[in-house]
A and B are shown apart, each in its own frame.
Chain A
Amino acid sequence: ELKVEQNPLFLSMQEGKNYTIYCNYSTTSDRLYWYRQDPGKSLESLFVLLSNGAVKQEGRLMASLDTKARLSTLHITAAVHDLSATYFCAVNTGTASKLTFGTGTRLQVTL
């Protein structure tokens, strides 16, 4: 059974600071996704990582994938308040693209 663990579960950070969210998964997978969810809203796709060593960047967010370590990271650079949200990683299993989600990291950026 595939398990996906995220840490930390909650992150309070000051504007302008850098931090990293970690996503570990237990079995081999061919792709990993990052999503963002604002309170009371749906999930928004951020990144899809398809191969070992893949790195994707969008604004202040950068995601990477190490398939050998079964680890993905989401790095936040110089955080701003607008990044406050819950971030989920999700790992793909099988041809039907069934996703197993981590429990999420709630990010709060304070002034």
Chain B
Amino acid sequence: DAGITQSPRHKVTETGTPVTLRCHQTENHRYMYWYRQDPGHGLRLIHYSYGVKDTDKGEVSDGYSVSRSKTEDFLLTLESATSSQTSVYFCAIRQGAKNIQYFGAGTRLSVL
């Protein structure tokens, strides 16, 4: 699993509440990514990071923010959750010369 831990694994929350998802890696990878997976869309990139305090937007970044204050942790925050953010969220790291991304186990988020 490339040493990636996502927490929590499941979360149910209410519309309008803030939510933070955590991605933790133990192998000092520089690049980390957050994706969301929805039926009919495959995976879509939300934000990514290329180092401590270095982040950038992906395809579907509206409504999300990220932070990376140390190499091992990449946090995804929904400032005010909406029902459209109900999804499965995957964190990934990039590894090796072929830049393969390896994924965590995912977080299933339901916003009611």
The answer to whether the Cβ of A31 comes within 8 Å of any Cβ in the partner chain is: yes
Q: Are B45 and A99 in contact (CB under 8 A)?
A: yes
**Any B CB within 8 A of the CB of A92:** yes
Interface size range of chain A in the complex: 20 to 34
User: Which residues in A have their C-beta under 8 angstroms from that of B42?
Assistant: 4, 88, 101-104
Contact partners of A97 in chain B: CB under 8 A: 31, 94, 99, 101
B59 nearest CB across to chain A (Å): 7
Instruction: Please name all residues of chain B whose beta carbon is closer than 8 Å to the beta carbon of A99 when the two chains form the complex.
Output: 33, 43, 45, 101
Contact yes or no, A98 B45, CB < 8 A: yes
Pick from A88, A96, A102 the residue with the most CB of B within 10 Å: A96
Per a CB cutoff under 8 Å, which of A31, A92, A101 touches B43? A101
Q: Could you list 20 examples of A-B contacts with CB < 8 Å?
A: A33-B100, A33-B101, A43-B43, A45-B100, A45-B101, A48-B99, A48-B100, A50-B98, A90-B43, A96-B48, A96-B56, A97-B31, A97-B99, A97-B101, A99-B101, A100-B45, A101-B43, A101-B44, A102-B42, A103-B42
Residues of A within 8 A of B (CB): 4, 31, 33, 41-43, 45, 48, 50, 88, 90, 92, 96-104
Residues in B lying within 8 Å of A, measured CB to CB: 1, 31, 33, 40-45, 48, 50, 56, 58-59, 90, 94, 98-106
